[in-house]
Amino acid sequence: MLTHFIGGTRVAGGSAFPVRDPVTGAEIDQVYDADPEVVDRAVRAAREAAPGWAALPVGERAGWLRRLADGIEARFDDLVAAEAADTGKPLEAARTLDIPRSVLNFRTFAEIAAQRPDEAFHLPGALSYTVRRPLGVVAVIVPWNLPFLLMTWKLAPALAAGNTVVVKPSEYTPCSAALFAEICEEVELPPGVVNVIFGSGPAGQLLVEHPSVDGVTFTGSTRTGQTIMRTVADRVRPVSFELGGKNAGVVFADCDLGRAIDGTVRSVFTNGGQVCLCTERLYVEQPIFEEFCAVLAGRAQIVEPQPMISAEHRERVLSYYALARSEGAKVLTGGGVPSFGDARDGGYFVEPTVVSGLSEWSRFNREEIFGPVCHVAPFTTESQAVDLANSTEYGLAATVWTSDLDRAHRVAQRLEAGLVWVNTWYLRDLRTPFGGGKLSGTGREGGTRSLDFYSQPTTITIKLEQPDA
């Protein structure tokens, strides 16, 4: 039974619900659903710990981040197993991406925070400088697709900036967060600096509406982000949102076709398409359109299916497969549920799917699906490709495949997305800005921009008296 972690103590509270393995549908654990008393206790614990944590020199806080990174490495195999059990992803994926990246998150932000200089300006007869103070108590609400990676991506800079936190992971993926609570105990992190509560949507709502929460960071659906923004509007609390996407990929005829296919397979089907940066709309220049579609469909047929996170999400993805057919799509491959003849038939799998033939204004091409599926359409000119890629209410990520360097720069700068990759996908430096526009979110995190969100500047100007002549 997974219990909340509040003020350095295990806390049972709220009703219990099951955690299920997406691969088989079997129950693997149970977890408490935080009630109002639990949420209030967690926020109060964070509030009580806030002054002491904020008062530590930044170098000492950076030292705690390094200890947490060491603690993650010491529990590496346990975290790999927990992340795979929660999400249904292959062990190798958790071993090579999720857990190593989480270690890097803590170490990177420890260095950035420790080395960041303050600003100072010498004015005629005065000195003006800035100091930064933490927001206070930050609510960290984590999605289910990359739960440990994204939790640490938010925790590390929040802690480095001097905040205390209350973390709520998704109800579908609580196990790695529970292990992180153990790591906090093992490294003897001061009680109340990190608090972990479990629960479903209502628990998250209780957390963000708590009057002692000073800021909210959230990754998840646009609809939930809109609800959070309305909730904190009256108190004018800062929010950082990385929300949904309907990401475009643009493939020019002069591309390295093999490289473009390989990259597109990754950008469409990684993690079962359950990554906010995955590509759902593909635009391919007319001379290579037929060949590209045929090769991509063939590659999709040999992609190892990964389960959707839940039975409900599988039904949602399947409803879009049905919608595509009803809107007149040509299904190039997939569109159903795979059969394994073993325990996986009780899991939440769908077939990797490629479709074409739909209007840009179809619901299938307008709404985020968040599954292993893409729509492929042809284009004839560069300007048309850019217009098609930008014809969405979302603005998170895009990819461009071309061997023309001038075109690469030209097109990338015209795409309305927070991140644009050229001849690659999912390659990131943690110091660069991360986030999107339109319905894909607000604000940027990454590098010093994360520290900017999790702290507020105060400008101090001191008049310098001139000595008597």
Q: Which residue has the tokens 């979110």?
A: 441
Of the candidates 83, 171, 242, 368, the residue annotated as catalytic is 242
Crossing angle of helices 76-87 and 58-74, rounded to 10° = 70
What are the distances in angstroms from CA 250 to CA 205, 240, 263, 411, 415?
38, 28, 12, 9, 10
**Contact yes or no for 247/277 (Cβ under 8 A):** yes
The C-alpha torsion from 240 through 443 and 445 to 85, rounded to 10°, is 50
Element (H, E) at 312: helix 311-326
3-state secondary structure of 13: coil
What phi-psi label fits residue 192: left (phi over 0), alpha (psi between -120 and 50 degrees) or beta?
A: left
Q: DSSP assignment of 381-402, as one string?
A: SHHHHHHHHH-SSEESEEEEE-
The verdict on whether 119 is a catalytic residue reads no
**Contact yes or no for 278/267 (Cβ under 8 A):** yes
The verdict on whether 276 is a catalytic residue reads yes
Strand stretches in 135-213, DSSP E: 137-141, 164-168, 194-196
Element (H, E) at 64: helix 58-74
Strand stretches in 239-386, DSSP E: 239-242, 247-251, 279-285, 330-333, 353-356, 373-379
Of the candidates 255, 276, 293, 374, the residue annotated as catalytic is 276
Residues known to be catalytic: 242, 276
